[in-house]
Structure 1
Amino acid sequence: MMKLSHGHKNSCRAGRQRGLSLVELIIALALSTTLILGIFTVYMDSSQTSRLATSLARIQESGRIATDVMARDMRMVGFQGCADPDDVTLNVIANNPPTSNFFETTLRGWEVDSGTWANGTEYDNTTIESSARIGSDVIAVQRGESMEIELTGNMTADNANVQVVGNDVVRFAQNDLVLISDCEASDLFRISSTPSSGTWAHANNVNTANRLSQAYTDAARIMRFSSSIYFVADTGRSDIQGNAIFALYRQSLALDGSFSAPQEIVEGVESLQIEYGELLGTNNIRYTTADNVGDMAGVVAVRLGMLISHTDQVRDIGDTADYALPGETVEAETSAAAGAVTHPEDGRLRRTFISTVMLRNRD
Structure 2
Amino acid sequence: MRKTQGGLSLVELMVALALSATLIFGVFTVYMDSNRTSQVSNALARTQEAARIAIDLMARDMRMVGFQGCADPDDVTLNVIADDPPTDDFFETTLRGWEVTDGTWADGTEYDNTDIESDAKVGSDVISVQRGETMGIELSGKMDVENANVQVKGDDVERFGQNDIVMISNCEAADLFRISSQPSSDTWAHASGVNSTNFLSRAYTEEARIMKFSSSVYFVADTGRDDARGNDIFALYRQINQLDGSLLPPEEIVENVENLQIEYGEVLATNNIRYRPADEVGDMTSVKALRIGMLISHSDPVRDDNDTAAYALPGETITGTSGGGAVTHPEDRRLRRTFVSTVMLRNRD
User: TM class by shorter-chain length?
Assistant: over 0.9
Q: Secondary structure at the match of 1:336?
A: coil
The count of corresponding residues between Structure 1 and Structure 2 is 349
Q: Are 1:352 and 2:338 matched, yes or no?
A: yes
Residue 219 (structure 1) aligned to one of 202, 207, 210: 207
- Say if 1:196 and 1:22 are closer, same or farther in 2 by CA, change over 3 A: farther
Bigger CA radius of gyration: 1
Provide the residue aligned with 1:3 in structure 2.
none
Residue 273 (structure 2) aligned to one of 285, 290, 294: 285
> What do the CA deviations read for 1:202-246 (whole angstroms, capped 9, x no partner)?
011111111100000000000000011000000111000000000
Q: Are 1:300 and 2:300 matched, yes or no?
A: no
> Aligned partners of 1:351, 1:317: CA distance in 2, in Å?
16
Residue 234 (structure 2) aligned to one of 246, 250, 267: 246
Provide the residue aligned with 1:178 in structure 2.
166
> What do the CA deviations read for 1:176-198 (whole angstroms, capped 9, x no partner)?
11000000100000111123432
> Aligned partners of 1:60, 1:117: CA distance in 2, in Å?
30
> Aligned partners of 2:5, 2:47: CA distance in 1, in Å?
65
Shift of 1:16: 1.6
Provide the residue aligned with 1:201 in structure 2.
189
Aligned residue runs from structure 1 range 1-363, under 5 A: 11-12=1-2, 15-337=3-325, 340-363=326-349
Q: Secondary structure at the match of 1:311?
A: coil
Q: Secondary structure at the match of 1:219?
A: coil
Contact 2:72 2:171 in 1 (8 A): yes
Which residues of structure 1 form unaligned runs of 5+? 1-10
> Aligned partners of 1:16, 1:113: CA distance in 2, in Å?
87
> What do the CA deviations read for 1:92-115 (whole angstroms, capped 9, x no partner)?
000100111100000000000010
> Aligned partners of 1:76, 1:295: CA distance in 2, in Å?
19
Q: Which amino acid aligns with 2:236?
A: L
> What do the CA deviations read for 1:90-137 (whole angstroms, capped 9, x no partner)?
000001001111000000000000101000000000001000000000
Which residues of structure 2 form unaligned runs of 5+? none
> Aligned partners of 1:217, 1:46: CA distance in 2, in Å?
66
Q: Secondary structure at the match of 1:210?
A: coil
> Aligned partners of 1:17, 1:52: CA distance in 2, in Å?
52
Shift of 1:73: 0.5
> What do the CA deviations read for 1:298-344 (whole angstroms, capped 9, x no partner)?
0000000000001111001000110000000000111123xx11100
Identity of aligned residues (%): 72
Q: Secondary structure at the match of 1:46?
A: helix
Shift of 1:297: 0.5
Q: Secondary structure at the match of 1:232?
A: strand
Q: Secondary structure at the match of 1:146?
A: strand
Using structure 2 for the length normalisation, give the TM-score: 0.99
Q: Which amino acid aligns with 1:77?
A: V
Shift of 1:258: 1.5
> What do the CA deviations read for 1:65-97 (whole angstroms, capped 9, x no partner)?
001000011100000000000110000000100
> Aligned partners of 1:355, 1:198: CA distance in 2, in Å?
43
Q: Secondary structure at the match of 1:170?
A: helix
> Aligned partners of 1:120, 1:289: CA distance in 2, in Å?
20
> Aligned partners of 1:153, 1:282: CA distance in 2, in Å?
47
More helix by share: 1
> Aligned partners of 1:198, 1:321: CA distance in 2, in Å?
60
> What do the CA deviations read for 1:22-42 (whole angstroms, capped 9, x no partner)?
011011111111111111111
> Aligned partners of 2:182, 2:15: CA distance in 1, in Å?
90
Shift of 1:63: 0.4
Q: Which amino acid aligns with 1:287?
A: Y
Shift of 1:257: 2.2
> Aligned partners of 1:133, 1:52: CA distance in 2, in Å?
27
> Aligned partners of 1:141, 1:196: CA distance in 2, in Å?
31
Q: Which amino acid aligns with 1:330?
A: I
Larger displacement relative to structure 2 (190-199 or 241-250): 190-199
> Aligned partners of 1:230, 1:141: CA distance in 2, in Å?
9
Contact 2:158 2:185 in 1 (8 A): no
> Aligned partners of 1:316, 1:333: CA distance in 2, in Å?
18
